[in-house]
Amino acid sequence: MIRAIRGMRDLLPPETERWQQVELAARELFRRYGYQELRLPLLERTELFARSIGAETDIVAKEMYTFTDRHGDSVTLRPEATAQVVRAFLEHGLAKAPGVKKYFLIGPMFRYERPQKGRYRQFHQINCEALGSDAPELDAEVILLLLDILREVGLGQVKLLLNSLGCPGCQVDFKAELKLFLFDREGWCPDCERRRAVNALRVFDCKSAHCQGLLQGAPALVDFLCPDCARHYARIKELLGRFQVDFEEQPRLVRGLDYYTRTTFEVTAAGLGAQDAVAGGGRYNGLIRELGGPDLPGIGFAIGQERLMEVLPPTAAGARRELLFLAYVGEAARDRALALLYELRQQGLAALMDFDHRSLKSQMSLADRLQAAAAVILGESELEEGVAQVKWLADSRQERLPLAELAGSLAARLRAPA
């Protein structure tokens, strides 16, 4: 038997239904906030990610699925979405659209890393990107949108972590002082030995508890912010406070990608262990220019769907789906059930029946195992009287409904507010 590749996994019912519910909720919130969907290819030129993410990040250095295609071009399975959103934005001239350009993308990403709880080599993200404005009000709106999505899908207690990375000008003096701090201490892991010489900020992203301990007392970038960046950061905090959003300032929060500037944030949840972030994002004001476009600012976030599903409460046990099962006795009833199956589906209802001439008892057992809301039973006597027996399986309640009105009546009942 051939099995799935390590770090990849199959999503099967009923888990896929929970994923659909989350994605539907996210799509509805994106609609309210004025976002439009992008559907982009899984493969991109390797240069796109090397230029945008940063050659010294772990993603580019260790984790990308990169190969040479038959024409000799280096291509990569996308490890994240922001860079390719910007690529599509520039390639198709979307900068000409009026106002802030707001997009979302839902789909798989790929990184070669050690599989663990909530982390796979093929993983899925819900991505938000807003391009064209540097206003702190947009930063606050993006954070509110993220929190709205997490609240809508049922995630309970979360913690919002917030920081500012400033602009490139802010980072010059900070990086100089940080390097002095890092080289004054020994015992870094091999990765951090390399990072402190090449890109000192990346040391903050190390997952080693030992290296995190060595960082105690490190300078904080927020102390080096220029007046403009300081005002921008202060305004975001003021707006979050106005909307009664609790947050915790985290001066070491840098995220894992080099394109971030100014605002950066994460949302964490209990139940995921040491790596407890379910979502994160921030500003990337220089990325569009770096990829050959105009000097437009941008901000966005990504929700890790696997991690989110790990911490969402399970669907209530014993909940019945809005599914109807048609059970019959005899050929005439079978033919009428086939017609009724179509009528119910035309009303927008999910309906199934057995085609293999099982006994009524076996059909009812199948309806129960499928967790149908109700079984619609037809036999010779029901056909003669022009009615159907409807058995509501959650409480075994039964009633007789006229066949001529059955589809409309059941549609009204199943769609009625609780």
Kind of pairing between the strands at 277-283 and 261-269: antiparallel
CA distance linking residue 86 with residue 357, whole number of Å: 56
> Treating both helix axes as pointing N-terminal to C-terminal, what angle do 136-152 and 227-242 enclose, rounded to 10 degrees?
40
pLDDT of residue 316: 43
**pLDDT recorded at residue 317:** 41
Q: What is the rounded distance in angstroms from the CA atom of residue 128 to the CA atom of residue 273? A: 25
Strand partners, 37: 104
> What residues contact residue 4 under an 8 Å CB cut-off, 6+ apart?
10
Superfamily covering domain 323-415? Anticodon-binding domain (3.40.50.800)
Rounded CA gap, 286 and 395, in Å?
60
**Domain extents in the chain:** 15-167+226-311, 323-415
Alpha-carbon dihedral of residues 406, 408, 414, 418, nearest 10 degrees? -120
User: How far apart, in whole angstroms, are the C-alpha atoms of residue 116 and residue 274?
Assistant: 11
Nearest of 101, 145, 153 to residue 314 by alpha carbon: 153
| DSSP code for 116 | B
Confidence (pLDDT) at 119:
79
Which run of H or E residues covers position 59?
A: none
Pick out the chain residues at pLDDT < 50: 316-318, 418
CA distance 319 to 183: 59
Q: Please give the C-alpha separations between residue 31 and each of 24, 28, 128, 134, 388, in angstroms, as whole numbers.
A: 11, 5, 12, 22, 41
For residue 21, the model assigns a pLDDT of 92
Distance of CA 96 to CAs 55, 106, 294, 363, Å? 31, 24, 11, 59
Q: Which residues pair with 106 in a beta bridge?
A: 126
Q: Contact 306/124 with Cβ under 8 angstroms?
A: yes
Nearest to 131 by CA among 169, 160, 104: 104
| Fold type of domain 15-167+226-311 | BirA Bifunctional Protein; domain 2 (3.30.930)
Confidence (pTM): 0.86
Residues 158, 166 contacting (CB under 8 angstroms):
no
Region of 134 (left: φ > 0; alpha: ψ -120 to 50; beta: rest) is alpha
List of long-range contacts for 115-118, beta carbons under 8 Å, 24+ apart? 115/6, 115/7, 116/275, 117/272, 117/273, 117/310, 118/272, 118/275, 118/304, 118/306, 118/307, 118/310
Pair 75, 45: CB distance under 8 Å: yes
Instruction: Sort 233 into a burial class: Cβ within 10 Å, 0-12 / 13-18 / 19+.
Output: buried
What string of DSSP letters covers 308-375? HHHHSPPPPTTPPPSEEEEEE-SHHHHHHHHHHHHHHHHTT-EEEE--S---HHHHHHHHHHTT-SEE
> pLDDT tens digits for 78-123?
999 999 999 999 999 999 888 999 999 999 999 998 877 767 899 9
Distance of alpha carbon 139 from alpha carbon 263, whole angstroms: 7
Helices and strands per DSSP (H, E), number in the chain: 15, 16
Q: Which runs of E-coded beta strand occur in 43-199?
A: 43-45, 66-68, 74-77, 101-110, 122-131, 158-164
Q: How high is the pLDDT of residue 318? A: 42
